[in-house]
Amino acid sequence: MTKRKSGGFLESLGDFLEDGLKGLIGQEADEPAGGKPEPVTRRVSLIIHNPRVPGEGNQRLNKVLQWNDPQQLVKGYIQDLHECSGGYVTYDIVEDVTVDRFPRKADGFVYQADAFVDAWRTRKGFHNPDAVDYDALLDEFDMIKKVDEGTIDEFWLFAFPYAGYYESIMGGPGAFWCNAPPLTQTAHANRRFVIMGFNYQRGVGEMLENFGHRAESIMKHVYRNKRGDDNLWERFFRHEHKNPGQAEVGWMHYAPNSERDYDWGNKRRVSSRWRTWRNFPNLDGEAEQVDCADWGNGDIRLHHKWWFELLPKIGGAADGIAYNWWKYIVDPNTVR
């Protein structure tokens, strides 16, 4: 991070002009660190594809296959993100739709409920290609209209394995990679929005992982023009396997000491500076010996909550980037 020494009138004038220029191009004006950012509420349209299965007494799919209740998963997910963001973000479900059919695939295929249950039980017969038809979803649920009217900020799709959703995908003007290629056909919308894709066969931990990959994509984009020590995202991201002797926090698949993807329960001890992120933006401090006991001993949800809690979330800005990274992750319209 670039730091200036205090100077006289000319330097103060230079700072003033630089901050003004940042405002004109949409960057954050430099501000001292401190305080809690003003909390935000994000309005969500929750769309649950959970069809009834005729051959199983017309029960919902999640009941037939003894999968989770999506409503309970949503409650846990919202609570975790509110807690991990230090109270910064509250997700509010303002639209809750349960759909009694399967979503259409990009090639037009639609599962029939009994056939899908049979495919799941025999582990064969799943349709390929798997991708869902996002154009159909955009039209069916009037997504662009709701975004333009300001009634919905993002959409959460909930379904079953092989639904064909991306874990997250971004639409709107200037949409960029968000763990999936952007929905360029939505560029005419008034603002950017994210569509999350969840699976009620899995748990809250996997939902947090989807959000984590969204965070990784967005923060990589935020810091795309920063190099070397000025790229704090690349520093946060470091882990022993890729950056020997320089581990910090890691990413969704790799804790500081992981040796492979999803290796959150590794007991080997390595040097890491993850605790310094509690003092952001002051990242001075020595590395310490750490292992999986620091982030939940292999529990996916505990690891991901630990990771989210370390994302910076204070007031202030430097080098045109806010000290509150949650601001960008929650609202991609704030990314320049």
Summarize pLDDT for 88-102 with one digit per residue, the tens. 999 999 999 999 999
Is 40-222 a CATH 3.40.190 domain?
no
- Parts of the chain belonging to CATH 3.40.390: 40-222
Is the pTM for the entire model greater than 0.75?
A: yes
Backbone angles phi, psi at 197, to 5 degrees: -125, 115
Cα gap 165→29, rounded to integer Å: 37
Cα gap 71→48, rounded to integer Å: 9
Summarize pLDDT for 177-197 with one digit per residue, the tens. 999 999 999 999 999 999 999
Q: Is the pLDDT of residue 234 over 90?
A: yes
Summarize pLDDT for 52-101 with one digit per residue, the tens. 999 999 999 999 999 999 999 999 999 999 999 999 999 999 999 999 99
Q: Percent of the chain beyond pLDDT 90?
A: 91
What rounded mean pLDDT belongs to the chain? 93
pLDDT of residue 27: 77
- 318 and 327 Cβ atoms separated by less than 8 Å: no
Q: Is the pLDDT of residue 145 over 80?
A: yes
